[in-house]
A = this chain, B = another copy of it.
């Protein structure tokens, strides 16, 4: 369990200032007090005052996603969610869930049994048992990167994939590329389908060639790159968009093994901008999802549903981070 000293060290302030922040003393600025509380939430430090009796409970379910360290995709989403939930007097339980758990326990039953007034679902797959239950759930529920039609108690939160992918394709076009592939994430995922459609729409809008062969499905891991790289290179592809940064790191690695230089001979674009992206060699051009803000928006959307505002969808704008893995198209002499 974290101590006041941990919070003080993280923020570079004295322990007495931390105490003031935790106890709501008046001789500390509001923004510093908020930073103390946000850090307390991040480090898991709580006081009796923070565990007041009037707090309501929500549950954040995670599946298919790493979130234990700041390096991993889910960490900031969960942190952003917990930080704003805390400010609004909600307690958050983070619950890793599996397909088999979903097949033994009904979602609504689980929520009612444990007194949760709302749920935030991160990383669910289309075939998960609970996904069909969300069509009829009576519990306010927000899905990260998934979408359910018609149930006014269920909303979706995610990035605007169409804009993100179009930004990347326009960037590559400006560098002279026309033969651009998408190594997508997993098949049977709502987000993979959205990105595939975004790729099709953008390539069509810019009159660029594409086919089933230029938009294969992969997995969200580096190792998935090797299944596709030879075929795409042999097709004359000069730039590859990847379903996430790990997959992009795999593409760069496979190119290195084959003596294909990035970005001189192949441009590579990632997705997400996890901390690793900037440290790759070359540093990765990628479509940034602001995960802390996505987590915060997840909570605000859930809070709206709990207050019976029938939000259907909240979308955030991604941002193209141009680094060194993309360059002018390579033309053979």
Contacts and interface: CB of A to CB of B under 8 A. Distances in A.
Interface string A148-161: 01101000000010
A325 interface: no
Interface centre among A293, A309, A313, A319 (most CB of B within 10 A): A309
B316 A312 contact: yes
Interface in A287-333: 290, 293, 296-297, 300, 304, 309-317, 319
B304 A312 contact: no
A63 interface: no
Contacts of A312: 160, 163, 315-317
A167 interface: yes
A315 B313 contact: yes
A300 B84 CA distance: 14
B314 A296 contact: no
B313 A314 contact: yes
Interface residues of A, number: 22
A315 B150 CA distance: 12
Interface in A85-140: none
Contacts of A311: 297, 314-317
Contacts of A315: 311-314
Nearest to A167: B150
Given A152-B317, A314-B314, A304 B309 contact: no
A150 B317 contact: yes
B309 A297 contact: yes
A296 B300 CA distance: 13
B304 A297 contact: yes
Q: Which of A152, A300, A314 has the most CB atoms of chain B within a 10 A radius of its CB?
A: A314
A286 B150 CA distance: 16
Interface string A173-206: 0000000000000000000000000000000000
Given A149-B163, A293-B309, A296-B309, 5 more contacts: A152-B317, A152-B319, A297-B304, A310-B317, A311-B316
Which 3 pairs show the lowest CB-CB distances between chains A and B? A310-B317, A313-B315, A312-B315
